[in-house]
Amino acid sequence: MSQAYAPFVDRDTIVHQMDPRAKLVGISALFVVAYVFSNPVLIAIPALIALGLVLSVGGYRNLRRVRVIIIALFLVGFVVWPVFLEPGGAVLLTAGPVVLTEREVFIALGRSLRIVTFILGGLVFISTTTTEELVRGLRQLGVPYPICFAIGTALRLFPTFIGAAGTVQQAQAARGAEVGGGSIRERLRGFIPLLIPVFMTAFRNIQTQSMALEARGFDPMGGRSFYGDLRFQRRDWALTLASVGVMITAALAALGGFGRI
Amino acid sequence: MSADPAITLADVTFAYRPDTPTVLESVDLEIPQGAVTVIVGASGGGKSTLLSMLNGLIPTFISGEFTGSIQAGETDLTVTRTNKVADTIGMVLQDYEAQLFGTSVTAEVAFGPENLGVEPAEIDARIDQAMALADLTQLDRRRPPSSLSGGQKQRLVIAGVAAMEPSVMILDEPTSDLDPAGTEDLLAVLRRVRTADAADGWSGPETVVMVTHAVEEAIGADHIIMLADGGVAASGSPEEVLRDAAALRAARVGVPPLVTVFDALGVGKQDLPLTPSAAAALVDRMDVDYDPAVLPAGAPAGTGAETGEALFDISELRYTYETDRDPVVAVDDVDLVIDRGAFVALIGHNGSGKSTLSKLLHGLLDPTTGEVTLDGEPLRSYSASERGRRIGYVFQNPDHQLFAESVREEVAFGPSNFGYSGAELDARVTAALETVDLMPLAEDDPFKLSRGQRQRVALAGILATDPNCIIFDEPTTGLDATQHDQFMQLVGRLNRDDGLTVIMITHDMGTVARYAPRSVVMDAGRVVFDGRTRALFGDPDLLAGYQLRAPQVTQLAHAVAPHTTPALTEEELIEALGGPR
């Protein structure tokens, strides 16, 4: 009935309380550090910080949802990157035509960690930021309201769809529908009783939603106010300044050749 | 009522597309200012279409084929965009799920005022007032709307519109998912119509327009508009419109139960009562006696056999689900035995755990602790397909399951999943379609049928698997009076004649009274009453304690003869008052 479908985690951690703009800057700092260096030891630092943040804000359920993607990206990176890299250092593994050198493994590990950092950073943000805060934060950063609203609506529709899909799935399961098993053709056929009601429901929802928006005075081009306390506080400034400092330091250090392999 | 109407329609004709039938034809009507107007009429009779005109959604948002004029004061609604009148005309559409925009209760209520550009400091006060108006003060405002029960969502949408402080509020079936107490509270709020008291600020809409299928809800209105065949069939005070039983039936609107009763007792049309108190006064004057001895012990419809063979036996059942904050206990330590052939009503207020319990009975959810046994064996020991064959589940909204291109194919889906094929499958599908009276539409596209027909297709799909038991989750929501009666008579017949066990979740106390000899009342996940419906409805204190309301006929029986066996239906009340004259 009422499980949490939305990515937002309803908690009150300090990360939740930060201004979304400050959060964006802070996460950008993690991204920059992960991007400018290629030494996996250095990239592991933002990766671990992001992982710690995801877990500490209660984002484990979001992490679980994307764990397959994270593992796949990590492994694929490991396999693909060495193909494009120049070998160097000691040879770690020789299997037929495949020769893995220390340098290749190191860089591949760094690249994989970099992608994982991006994903984890994104998870920290969506786990701690409501759609309203995001829309408002984007608006305050100067993004035009129609675009902010489109992003907000897409995020809002997500739990609606998942909820409808859950109800449809139960309704069809009660009629003996079994999804999965058999050939690909049979599997696809098995999805039709789920997909059609979900799409029909979604389609009707969108129609009603657009009428209801109109009736609630929504005007994408018009002025509006924003409810709720969203002011930059001291800690937001502190995080922003620290993050900018980290970004500049990391960029300069990288330019100076630090952390390169 | 002031002289100027709030909204005036003149010579309005409308079709959604040039090739579709005309929904409204040459309609002239006035929505009186400072009053509650209720619009009644059959399903598909143009009620929602008419409502969409009252804030100009038609023709500014949905243009269709529109002719005529719509005027709200100085504003021409045929050319003014709806979002420009949203501060004065608020609208609650029928499908409340699709009208929730916020990620928290607070954000939801704030959304409208934000659109209007209301200062954040003022929005705070508006949220408090709107939440109080919609009776949601107890709700944790940080909860995401998707986690609320149906009735709570419905009230939250109303709060979201109220926070815009409109002077006219338009609501399309705002009580369809509310429990009896919730319905009564909401109607009370809506009837507390204010004249413009600008000095005190906004305290509720001055003018209310609502659509309902429940005729009892129309009785307290100031003005009633009855639609039939694309036009206004009647318009006037409740007394003028609701005493005309023949006209109501012709428009497929339910006849108020007390009108039916006293019409049969030979009371003249001018004196027919609409409320239990008026009826009680009339009984006093008529010098008739209420004789409870003529009433049967069981259900008036003769449904719900007592076989003594347990179909379901559940013990210490508990179901909790996780949220980001604390786990929520939806079903808490429930023990229940349901016999074969029984007709049990599962009632209780919104969010009390009825749907969760019924899904546990079907095995759609697995209990956290405790056990359900079906025919003496643990439910877990049956395969999903065996379970589905024995127990059918009819969901509230048929559109959550219809997918096939023809009615026949749709109905065949369940039985073919359970292994039937060829001639036997055909025979089952045909028999099911005949039972629900849809054989002539067997080759039609299910999506083109009416809501009542779609609900019958969903039921036929379950009947074709020949289950021992069907669980219904509010199966009559959105059906008009005629469709509702037909659907319930069908379910009653299946129970009485074929021994089908029926477990029905419903907020409609008239249905409970007529069909279910046994009621199970839930509150906060627990079963707080399990016994005879007649005993439950015979005890006003008990009912009030569970926030339930007896049907009007039963309320009258209480008023004229306290502490006796109450009549549960119109027919019973007529008998108890000496039979038709």
- Cα–Cα distance for residue pair A52/B379, rounded to 1 Å: 42
Is the CB of B369 inside 8 Å of chain A's CB atoms?
no
The residue ranges of every structural domain in chain B are 5-99+165-259, 341-366+380-552
Cα angle A213-B96-B75, degrees, rounded to a multiple of 5: 40
Give the pLDDT of residue B142.
86
ipTM of the complex: 0.85
- Cα–Cα distance for residue pair B426/B405, rounded to 1 Å: 17
| Inter-chain residue contact A211 with B61, CB threshold 8 Å | yes
Region B519-525: mean pLDDT is 95
| Inter-chain residue contact A2 with B323, CB threshold 8 Å | yes
Residues forming a β-bridge with B163 = none
Count of CB atoms situated within 10 Å of the CB of B74? 5
Contact list in B for residue A170 (CB cut-off 8 A) is 359, 364, 395
Four-way CATH pick for B5-99+165-259: 3.40.50.720, 3.40.50.300, 3.20.20.80, 3.20.20.70: 3.40.50.300
Is the CB of B356 inside 8 Å of chain A's CB atoms?
yes
Count of CB atoms situated within 10 Å of the CB of B463? 27
Give the pLDDT of residue A2.
40
Is the CB of B97 inside 8 Å of chain A's CB atoms?
yes
Region B445-461: mean pLDDT is 89
Considering only A104-108, A159-163, B78-82, B167-171, which range has the smallest mean pLDDT?
A: A159-163
Residue B465 pLDDT more than 50?
Answer: yes
Count of CB atoms situated within 10 Å of the CB of B121? 9
Give the pLDDT of residue A229.
65
| Inter-chain residue contact A10 with B114, CB threshold 8 Å | no
Count of CB atoms situated within 10 Å of the CB of A48? 13
Give the pLDDT of residue B576.
94
pLDDT in tens, A65-91: 888 888 888 888 777 877 777 777 788
Cα dihedral A172/A178/A183/A186 (nearest 10): -30
Q: Model confidence at B196, in pLDDT bands (50, 70, 90)? A: very low
The beta strands (E) that lie in chain A are given as 91-95, 98-101
Instruction: Search chain B and give the residue with CA nearest A5.
Output: B146
Give the pLDDT of residue A232.
85
Q: How far is A167 from chain B (nearest CA, A)?
A: 7
Q: Which of residues 161-190 of B touch A (CB under 8 A)?
A: 161, 164
Closest CA to B167 of B136, B133, B188, B198: B198
Is the CB of B57 inside 8 Å of chain A's CB atoms?
yes
Region B171-199: mean pLDDT is 75
Closest CA to B324 of A259, A95, A16, A237: A16
Residue B498 pLDDT more than 50?
Answer: yes
Amino acid at B482: T
Report whether B168 contacts B207 (CB < 8 A).
yes
Q: Model confidence at B95, in pLDDT bands (50, 70, 90)? A: confident
Is the CB of B425 inside 8 Å of chain A's CB atoms?
no
Residue A180 pLDDT more than 90?
Answer: no
Residue A117 pLDDT more than 70?
Answer: yes
Count of CB atoms situated within 10 Å of the CB of B415? 26
- Pick A188 or B297 by higher pLDDT: B297
Cβ-based burial of A170 (10 A; exposed 0-12, middle 13-18, buried ≥19)? middle
Backbone angles phi, psi at B114, to 5 degrees: -60, -40
Closest CA to A32 of A254, A247, A261, A249: A247
Give the pLDDT of residue B148.
83
Q: Model confidence at B198, in pLDDT bands (50, 70, 90)? A: very low
- The residue assigned the tokens 């035995």 is B337
Closest CA to B127 of B144, B141, B110, B111: B110
| Inter-chain residue contact B82 with A130, CB threshold 8 Å | no
Q: Which of A131, A174, A219 sits opposite B388 (nearest CB)?
A: A174
Residue A191 pLDDT more than 80?
Answer: yes
Give the pLDDT of residue B195.
47
Q: How is domain B341-366+380-552 classified at the CATH fold level?
A: Rossmann fold (3.40.50)
Is the CB of A63 inside 8 Å of chain B's CB atoms?
no
Q: Determine the distance from the C-alpha atom of residue B75 to the mean position of all C-alpha atoms in its chain, rounded to a whole number.
A: 34
| Inter-chain residue contact B123 with A225, CB threshold 8 Å | yes
- Pick A82 or B490 by higher pLDDT: B490
Residues 6+ apart with CB under 8 A from B554: B513, B537, B538, B566, B567, B568
- The residue assigned the tokens 């307290």 is B220
- The residue assigned the tokens 């997500």 is A158
| Inter-chain residue contact A215 with B401, CB threshold 8 Å | no
- Which of A64, A211, A219, A231 would you mutate first to test chain B, the one with the most B CBs within 10 A? A211
Is the CB of B497 inside 8 Å of chain A's CB atoms?
no
Domains B5-99+165-259 and B341-366+380-552 alike in fold: yes
| Inter-chain residue contact A216 with B86, CB threshold 8 Å | yes
> Is the omega angle on the peptide bond into residue B180 within 30 degrees of 0, that is, cis?
no
DSSP state of B193: P
| Inter-chain residue contact B325 with A11, CB threshold 8 Å | yes
Region B242-262: mean pLDDT is 94
| Inter-chain residue contact A197 with B81, CB threshold 8 Å | no
Region B385-403: mean pLDDT is 90
Q: Which of B119, B146, B400 sits opposite A201 (nearest CB)?
A: B400
Give the pLDDT of residue B249.
92
Is the CB of B418 inside 8 Å of chain A's CB atoms?
yes
Is the CB of A183 inside 8 Å of chain B's CB atoms?
no
Q: Model confidence at B480, in pLDDT bands (50, 70, 90)? A: confident
- Cα–Cα distance for residue pair A248/B137, rounded to 1 Å: 50
% of chain A exceeding 90 in pLDDT = 34
Residue B192 pLDDT more than 70?
Answer: no
Cβ-based burial of B117 (10 A; exposed 0-12, middle 13-18, buried ≥19)? middle
% of chain B exceeding 70 in pLDDT = 98
Q: Which of A58, A130, A178 sits opposite B324 (nearest CB)?
A: A58
Residue B449 pLDDT more than 90?
Answer: no
Please tell me the pTM assigned to this model: 0.85
Q: How far is B304 from chain A (nearest CA, A)?
A: 24
Region A121-133: mean pLDDT is 91
Residue B1 pLDDT more than 60?
Answer: no
Q: How far is A26 from chain B (nearest CA, A)?
A: 24
Residue B350 pLDDT more than 50?
Answer: yes
Residue B197 pLDDT more than 60?
Answer: no
Q: Which of residues 61-90 of B touch A (CB under 8 A)?
A: 61-62, 81-84, 86-87, 90
Region B269-282: mean pLDDT is 94
Q: What is the mean pLDDT of chain B?
A: 91
pLDDT in tens, B31-68: 999 899 999 998 878 898 999 999 999 999 999 999 99
Enumerate helices (H) and strands (E) in chain A, giving the number of each.
Answer: 9, 2
Contact list in A for residue B117 (CB cut-off 8 A) is 222-225
Give the pLDDT of residue A134.
87
Residue B390 pLDDT more than 70?
Answer: yes
Give the pLDDT of residue B502.
97
Give the pLDDT of residue A163.
78
Q: Model confidence at B240, in pLDDT bands (50, 70, 90)? A: very high
- Cα–Cα distance for residue pair B320/A145, rounded to 1 Å: 40
Closest CA to B48 of B208, B176, B211, B190: B211
- Pick A7 or A125 by higher pLDDT: A125
